[in-house]
Amino acid sequence: MRDAMASAEVGDDVYGEDPTVNLLEEKVAKLFGKEAALFCPSGSLANQLAIRMLVAPGEELISETNSHIVRAELGAAAVFSGITTRTWESDRGLLKADDVLKIIKPNSGPYLVSTTAIAIENTHNFGGGTIQPILEIEKLRNQTKVLGISMHLDGARIWNAHIASGVKLAEYGKHFDTLSVCLSKGLGSPIGSLMLSSQEIVTKARQWRKRYGGGMRQVGIIAAAGIYAIENNLSLLNLDHKRAKLIAEIIEKVSPSLIDANSVETNIVGLDLSEFQITAKTLSDELKEEGILTSALGPKYLRLVTHFDITEQDVAKITEVLPRVLKHALVS
């Protein structure tokens, strides 16, 4: 990847003249069956540009209650675009079309807020890497398209969903007006995400990217890492998924209240510590002392993510250390 970056051909991408960025954009648009793509410095920017294109100020985007767009982008939709949000609840972030259909309020007239777009996260990060069923996506699409409601996919981890489910990227792409995808998560690029849509919408988003200060110059050195990641690292995600499952099974043996290993489908292992005295932060600190890095994402929610920098030796260490530290936490 570093070699690909060092030897990348570059140009000024603000003028659309960086051949490596152009190649990456064409390549990713094609993979998802979209007309065009826009390279962005972050997934948050790709999400925000996309929903800005779909929802006018004072209109409403609806999303799952623990989605990244709602919880982890610091209110950007409201701050930058005047978009209001409402949310539906779910188990592990899992999409059920009926949950969404129950709360949509399209064409609400001059006195009430109108729903104009729905955002779906796949895989669902805070849900524990949950894969969204393609049949539910399809059902939601069919029932909302006729109402004039658009759909956006927050596909930061769509690569994981694709590898684990076998559903083609273009099959996911087909059901959404806009998509965001990240190169900087499991694919292992240092930086970079793309926003995908029709040519018309991407052309408009390109102006907004510049307005937000996200137009980058000779950024082919980073785009080259993205191309490398798609060509070489996508197929490695399977290993992350296998290891996450193995880790989940080991944890479940310590206490089934911590995790249902059957629910681990991709590279995220989310531990529910609500039946334990210990907080996620303390457990995370204890694991760090042992050289295992985790995220305390809630007072009682600890997230472990497998990734391709982990070696077989690391896996052996995790399977030894985790049960020991957890058993200790269980009794203390």
Ligand X SMILES: *Cc1c(COP(=O)(O)O)cnc(C)c1O
CB neighbourhood size of 289 (10 A) = 9
Stretch that binds ligand X, among 41-49, 50-58, 169-177, 223-231 (CB under 6 A): 41-49
- State the minimum distance, in angstroms, from the CB of residue 119 to ligand X: 10
- Interaction mask 187-226, ligand X, x per CB under 6 A: ------x---------------------------------
At its nearest, how many Å lie between ligand X and the CB of residue 293? Answer: 16
Q: How far is residue 243's CA from residue 221's CA, in Å, rounded to a whole number?
A: 31
**Minimum distance of ligand X from residue 36's CB (angstroms):** 20
Q: In the set 60, 154, 177, 240, which binds ligand X (CB under 6 A)?
A: 154
Which H helix or E strand runs over 24? helix 19-31
Binding to ligand X in span 76-135, by CB under 6 A: 121, 125
**Rounded Cα distance, 187 and 328, in Å:** 35
Contact by Cβ (8 Å): 66, 124: yes
Stretch touching ligand X by CB under 6 A, among 138-146, 182-190, 204-212, 260-268: 182-190
Candidates 25, 28, 32, 44; binder of ligand X (CB under 6 A) is: 44
User: Which is it for the CA torsion 61, 47, 238, 165, positive or negative?
Assistant: positive
> Closer CB to ligand X, residue 40 or residue 224?
40
Interface stretch with ligand X, choices 15-23, 39-47, 55-63, 292-300 (CB under 6 A): 39-47
Measured between alpha carbons, how far is 168 from 152 in angstroms, rounded to an integer? 17
Q: Verify binding: residue 265, ligand X, rule CB under 6 A.
A: no
Residue 7, CA atoms < 13 Å, CB-side half-sphere: 5
Strand partners, 119: 152
**202 with 39: CB under 8 angstroms?**
no
Would you say 47 or 114 has its CB closer to ligand X?
A: 47
* Least Å from the CB of residue 244 to ligand X: 15
Considering only 48-56, 75-83, 179-187, 284-292, which stretch makes contact with ligand X by CB under 6 A? 179-187
Of 37, 70, 156, 322, which one interacts with ligand X (CB under 6 A)? Answer: 156
Distance CA 33, CA 36 (A): 9
Nearer to ligand X, 162 or 185 (CB): 185
Quickly tell me which residue has 């102006």 as its tokens: 207
Integer angstrom CA distances of residue 178 from 46, 53, 169, 199? 10, 9, 13, 11
Q: How far apart are CA 81 and CA 56, in angstroms?
A: 7
Specify the stretch interacting with ligand X by CB under 6 A; choose among 15-23, 25-33, 178-186, 223-231: 178-186
Number of residues that bind ligand X (CB under 6 A): 13
116/125 with CB nearer ligand X: 125
CA gap 14, 52 in Å, rounded? 20
Determine the residue with CB nearest ligand X: 43
Does position 153 bind ligand X by CB under 6 A?
no
d(CA 144, CA 89): 19
Question: Is residue 208 a contact partner of residue 48, using CB atoms and an 8 Å limit?
Answer: no
- E-strand spans in the chain? 36-40, 60-64, 84-88, 115-121, 150-155, 178-182, 193-197, 268-272, 295-298, 301-305
Which residue in the set 153, 161, 182, 326 belongs to the binding site for ligand X (CB under 6 A)?
182
Q: Can you give the binding site for ligand X, defined by CB under 6 A?
A: 42-44, 47, 68, 121, 125, 154, 156, 182, 184-185, 193
